[in-house]
Amino acid sequence: MRDQKYENMTRREFLEKATVGSALLVSQAMGFSSRAHAAPYQLPPLPYSQNALQPYISSKTLGFHHGKHHKGYVEKFNELIKGTPMADQTLEQVIKDAFHPTEKTPLFNNAAQIWNHSFFWKSMRPKGGGKPKGKIKEKLDATFGNVEKFKEEFVKQAVSLFGSGWAWLAIEGDKLKIVQTKDADTPLVHGATPLLTPLLTIDVWEHSYYLDYQNRRKDYVTAVLDHLINWEFAEENLAKI
């Protein structure tokens, strides 16, 4: 039975509120502020030093990626949001309101790229990789057979994504999924009942790896999975659902 507070909502309103609520749970697990910030949104700091992911991701790559690309999305977002009714909304709400399935607007692209990149930094950690534990391992085994088979499939999906985008480990209902999104697209605007909730991601835009790996996207994705992926972050996100 639906909660009394949802009794007078249309089905569309109910699903929209549920989708945003799911995004906020993940954002809270990431330590995000719940506001998009009217004046103005600040570039979230890296959760580790700029050289902490070497030798798999160089200080130079991380400096350009965070300090130029991520910062650029923040600056453009602030320019687009200034003086609009969306200025007081959460970042997740802006992403949802600016999303159109057949047309990605500049506001959506920049807002989603802020969120995606902040999620990506948390998806890695120094001395990461290795074998996951706990519920995330149980679900990986149940869905893919074992962790190695998951990694094989994740690399395949990340490498086969044409052009720029993202590869995600997400959960829909009680089942894990590997999801590709193009350009700035994000799982936050996909899925209805059950919700599609991201657990981890790897950025496969060329700027995330070209200085270190040139066109060897597979080597980059494999290095992140083997040495940097933050299984503890996935476990935290899973626990919030």
What is the C-alpha to C-alpha distance for residues 34 and 37, in angstroms, rounded to an integer? 9
Quick one: pLDDT at residue 33?
46
Quick one: pLDDT at residue 103?
80
Q: Does position 10 have pLDDT exceeding 60, yes or no? A: no
Which one is predicted more confidently, 233 or 37? 233
pLDDT 10s digits, 184-193: 999 999 876 5
| CATH superfamily of domain region 134-239 | Iron/manganese superoxide dismutase, C-terminal domain (3.55.40.20)
pLDDT 10s digits, 47-101: 999 999 999 999 999 999 999 999 999 999 999 999 998 998 999 999 999 998 7
Quick one: pLDDT at residue 39?
53
Which one is predicted more confidently, 170 or 36? 170
pTM: 0.86
What is the C-alpha to C-alpha distance for residues 183 and 194, in angstroms, rounded to an integer? 24
- Average pLDDT rounded to a whole number, residues 143-165: 97
- Tell me the Cα Rg of the chain: 18
164 pLDDT tier (thresholds 50, 70, 90): very high
Quick one: pLDDT at residue 149?
98
Q: Which amino acid is at 205?
A: W
DSSP helix/strand/coil, 157: helix
Query: What whole-number percentage of the chain has pLDDT above 70?
Result: 83
- Average pLDDT rounded to a whole number, residues 191-205: 87
Tokens 């249309």 sit on residue = 10
Residues 88 and 164 sit within 8 Å (Cβ to Cβ):
no
Residues of the chain with CATH 3.55.40.20: 134-239
Query: What whole-number percentage of the chain has pLDDT above 90?
Result: 74
What is the C-alpha to C-alpha distance for residues 32 and 78, in angstroms, rounded to an integer? 17
Residues of the chain with CATH 1.10.287.990: 4-38+58-122
Query: 77: which residues sit within 8 A by CB, 6+ positions away?
Result: 41, 107, 110, 111, 114
Q: Does position 194 have pLDDT exceeding 70, yes or no? A: no
Cis peptide before 198 (omega within 30 of 0): no
Which one is predicted more confidently, 185 or 33? 185
The pair phi, psi for residue 221, each rounded to 5°, is: -60, -40
Selected from 3.20.20.60, 3.30.2010.10, 1.10.10.10, 1.10.287.990, the CATH number assigned to the domain covering 4-38+58-122 reads 1.10.287.990
